[in-house]
Amino acid sequence: MGADGDWLWDDQNRRVAFYSNLRPGDCTFHVTACNSHGMWNEQGEQFSFYVAPHSYETWPFDVACGAILVFAGPALHYRRMGRLRRVQRLEQQRALHEERARIAKDLHDDLGATLTGLALQLDLARSQGLPADTLQERLANLARHTLGLVDNTREVVWAMNPQHDNVESLASFLGQYTEEYLAGAGLRCRLELPSNLPRQPPDVVLMDINLPGQSGIECVRRLKTLFPELQIIMLTIEDDSRKVFESLKAGASGYLVKNPPPAQILAAVEDVHRGGSPMSSQIARLLVQRFQPAGRGQDEMAHLTPREDEVLGLAVKGYRSKEIADALSLSTQTVQTHFRNLYEKLHVRSRAEVVARYLGR
């Protein structure tokens, strides 16, 4: 292996041979020769030697490679999961920053409106030359507005502080706000909150659709952005199919109609925590009806007028009423009339349901 095919001559006129790429281990070099008369020396000469292996040809190297293969996989997986966790934390921080900015903007708008109102009222009181009693009452009213402005400013400062992004701070703020709010009505309030509130988000949340100031569906969407693993059960009196599907699309895992017995709520919480999707029988019926073959719907579609079919086709493409009116050279009122006729013929209550019925026919 790697041997020369014939003798070579060196610079001193000696015959030499070269052998390369010998395998590691014990080797023997055997030489036989003949004289000028063709007589061979059958015994010849030989000598033994040892070829040392390279480091990558030894058994410790094989063991090291095996260990690397065994531990490299879990190490790479752990590194990848760590990177994903860092990305998730960054996304949560970004979502928190956006939510904090939104809250601060809303409070800032309220502050601006209040300041503008105070300035207008002060200017009006100065220019009208009101009697002392009326002026005093007006100033007292302005003082109350000013105190409210101070409270709003405190809320802005509290909302913008990242140190308050925990349950303890939120509970303390809500308790203080409740006591001050009820104190204005002459009511005394004492809140007893657990001293060991969990720092991690809950596993399951019961959510109402109609929250003060915003939709519970939007709240679900924001919570799922901040905490993707959070399980949310809608608990409401609404059984409108549109709101049901909007809630599920936003990230809700279950839907219960209000006033279920406590045992049913507890069972639903346990069910969703185990990976299920608890739903009231009314909601389950809506889902079954939505995904069943709409044989009657096909017959109803067949009874639409050509104009109604044109209006429906543009609505499916995302056209608004005014755009449909412009495209078909109709008035907006006429388009609305066609939609009312579609609602009656297809037995639905919203444009979204009309489009869904059209796509599912």
Helix (H, G, I), strand (E, B) or coil at 101: helix
Residue 337 pLDDT > 50:
yes
Two tokens at 341?
A: 């006729």
Residue 1 pLDDT > 50:
no
Beta bridge partners of residue 232, listed in sequence order: 205
Q: DSSP H helical segments within 129-166, as ranges?
A: 132-160
Confidence tier at 345 by pLDDT (50, 70, 90)? confident
Residue type, 189: C
Confidence tier at 258 by pLDDT (50, 70, 90)? low
Q: For the chain, give the percent of residues with pLDDT over 90.
A: 0
Work out the average pLDDT over 36-55. 82
Q: List the one residue out of 339, 63, 19 whose CA is nearest residue 330.
A: 339
Residue 155 pLDDT > 70:
no
pLDDT value of position 142? 72
pLDDT value of position 2? 46
The length of the chain in residues reads: 361
Instruction: Give the span between the Cα atoms of 254 and 272, in whole angstroms.
Output: 7
Which among 58-72, 125-139, 144-158, 199-213 has the top mean pLDDT?
A: 58-72
Write the CB contacts of 264 (distance below 8 Å, at least 6 apart in sequence).
Answer: 256
Q: Are 223 and 230 in contact (CB under 8 A)?
A: yes
Cβ neighbour number for residue 241 with a 10 Å cutoff: 19
Two tokens at 25?
A: 């281990």
Work out the average pLDDT over 152-157. 67
Beta bridge partners of residue 51, listed in sequence order: 25
Instruction: Give the span between the Cα atoms of 252 and 250, in whole angstroms.
Output: 6
DSSP assignment string, 161-210: -GGG-SHHHHHHHHHHHHHHHHHTTT--------SS--SSPPSEEEE-SE
Residue 135 pLDDT > 60:
yes
Instruction: Give the span between the Cα atoms of 41 and 45, in whole angstroms.
Output: 9
Q: What is the pLDDT of residues 295-334, one digit of tens each?
A: 445 556 667 888 888 888 888 777 778 888 888 888 888 8
Q: Which run of H or E residues covers position 25?
A: strand 25-31
Write the CB contacts of 69 (distance below 8 Å, at least 6 apart in sequence).
Answer: none
Residue 290 pLDDT > 70:
no
Residue labelled with tokens 């913008």:
160
Please report, in angstroms and rounded to a whole number, the separation of the first and last CA atoms in the chain: 77
Cβ neighbour number for residue 344 with a 10 Å cutoff: 9
Residue type, 244: V
Beta bridge partners of residue 49, listed in sequence order: 27
Q: Which run of H or E residues covers position 31?
A: strand 25-31
Query: Maximum CA pair distance of the chain?
Result: 149
- Mean pLDDT is lowest, of 74-78, 151-155, 240-244, for 151-155
213: left (phi over 0), alpha (psi -120 to 50) or beta: left
Residue labelled with tokens 């302005």:
142
Q: pTM above 0.85?
A: no
Residue labelled with tokens 């608990």:
235
Confidence tier at 163 by pLDDT (50, 70, 90)? low
| DSSP annotation of 23 | P
Helix (H, G, I), strand (E, B) or coil at 46: strand
Q: Which run of H or E residues covers position 49?
A: strand 45-51
Which of residues 187 and 220 earns the better pLDDT score?
220
Average pLDDT, the chain: 76
Q: DSSP H helical segments within the chain, as ranges?
A: 59-128, 132-160, 167-183, 216-226, 241-250, 262-273, 281-291, 295-302, 306-316, 321-328, 332-346, 351-359
